[in-house]
Amino acid sequence: MPQFLDTTAHEFEQAFLALLSAKREDSPDVDEVVAAIIADVRTRGDVAVIELTERFDRIALTPDGLRFSPSEVDEAIDRVPAAERQALELAAERIRAYHERQMPADDEWTDVTGATLGWRWSAVAAAGLYVPGGLASYPSSVLMNAVPAKVAGVGRLAIAVPTPDGVVNPLVLLAARLAGVDEIYRIGGAQAIAALAYGTESIAPVDKITGPGNAFVAAAKRRVFGKVGIDMIAGPSEILVIADKDNEPDWIALDLLSQAEHDESAQSILITDDADFGRAVADAVEARLQTLERREIAGASWRDFGAVIVVRDLDEAAVLSNRIAPEHLELCVADPDGLSRKTTHAGAIFLGQYTPEAIGDYVGGPNHVLPTARSARFSSGLSVMDFLKRTTVARMTPEALRAIGPSAETLARSESLEAHGLSVRARLDRLNG
């Protein structure tokens, strides 16, 4: 059974703070190992990558074999059943449509002084996407990373996906194909991140690396950050469901379990204004846990980090939600739109009882790579913006320089930056003389 909290209880604030600060993840310290792997790949290139892949993934590769050939991809994709292919195609199409609307516009204007100002967006030239192998090899994550990159206009998109014992998930290759990925490498771990960041004889370096991974991958991403851009380092998944009593307890239970089944460190929280409903949901969770395939994982997550919080009213729920700043927020209440406008710190909001969070994981359209561990207070989910950068532009006319140049000169002198001031003054003297 999870924790039950009640905002009217004397000790609520203390219990809620404990829930907020619960350390759910113990990342092993692999930083030294990772540093050595990166140094090795930088020094020895392909040879290092091949040796490390043999050691960790138990497959012997040649430099030519690091990359999947088009016919290898074709062959794997042919094995995908029609229903799964169609589902993946629908998902790709909907994710593409959503992210196309995110593309920001360039701007340019002339102000009262005659100065032309603006900015231009351009795509990262080359990006790399890490895809975990084995159990957590999710084709949906390939789409969620690769589609925004291609919509943004990334010219060269490479995937690194380890194939332990040579096993590859055909759906991952199909998702890569549907998204328009240009290169797929059968490498993983810190060696894959190093190869993407620094390049080897067979793998050209990229400018940005995104995608989830284990502790080694996360540590490697942190280390190559600066040389290349990276996306956020994601923590265990979370969901907060705010539900009133007019819901089916079993549906809410399944929504809570669909986060809990990801990982023993995942966290599922229900906030309700009806204590009886809260107990009914908890009972429904227990019932589902009798038969769920991943009941050990989901059960551990629910027992260790799950919570049911009973509030006085939904305004109080909104306040708590903003303090939690959940990755996923499901609003199963009579007026979900109204409540959503009060819950500003959340990665993604799912409105109404017919929008289970799982829809957002696959086919809704919005991205499922979202800020965890309360970082929705200051960051956003993955989007086309992660694969774009903005260059500002400014052009002064002689008149504009006359109008604002003297102020620049004054400020430069006040900051003791003489050459800054002189670079303006030399031009003004010419214009005035």
Q: Does 422 bind a second copy (CB under 8 A)?
A: yes
Q: Which stretch binds a second copy (CB under 8 A): 55-63, 71-79, 196-204, 379-387?
A: 379-387
Would you say 14 is a known binding-site residue?
no
Which of 183, 264, 327, 330 is catalytic? The answer is 327
The residue type of 214 is: N
Least distance between a second copy and beta carbon 54 (Å): 28
Report 41-100 residues binding a second copy (CB under 8 A). Answer: 83-84, 86-88, 90-91, 94, 97-98
Pull the structure tokens for residue 128.
Answer: 């790399």
Does the protein bind a second copy through residue 249 (CB under 8 A)? Answer: no
- Is 330 known to sit in a ligand binding site? no
What part of residues 138-197 is at the interface with a second copy (CB under 8 A)? 138-140, 171
Residues forming beta bridges with residue 389, ordered by sequence position = 122
Instruction: Please select the residue that binds a second copy; options are 109, 290, 313, 432, rule is CB under 8 A.
Output: 109
Q: Which of residues 385-414 bind a second copy (CB under 8 A)?
A: 385, 389-398, 400-401, 404-408, 410-412, 414
68 HSE (CA, 13 A, CB side): 31
Alpha helix ranges (H) inside 129-206: 139-152, 170-179, 189-198
Is 327 noted as a catalytic residue in this protein?
Answer: yes
Interface residue with a second copy among 119, 164, 304, 319 (CB under 8 A) is 119
**Residue 138 tokens, joined:** 């999710």
With H, G, I as helix, E, B as strand and everything else as coil, classify residue 53: helix
Binding test (CB under 8 A) with a second copy, winner from 46, 244, 261, 263: 261
d(CA 427, CA 431): 6
How many degrees, rounded to 5, is the angle at CA 230 between CA 60 and CA 177?
A: 55
Contact by Cβ (8 Å): 318, 342:
yes
Verify binding: residue 418, a second copy, rule CB under 8 A: yes
What is the longest distance spanned by two Cα atoms in the chain? 88
Q: Confirm whether 368 is a catalytic residue.
A: no
Q: In 133-230, where do the E strands start and end?
A: 156-160, 183-185, 208-210, 229-230
Residues serving a catalytic function are 327-328
The binding site for substrate consists of 237, 259, 262, 328, 361, 415, 420
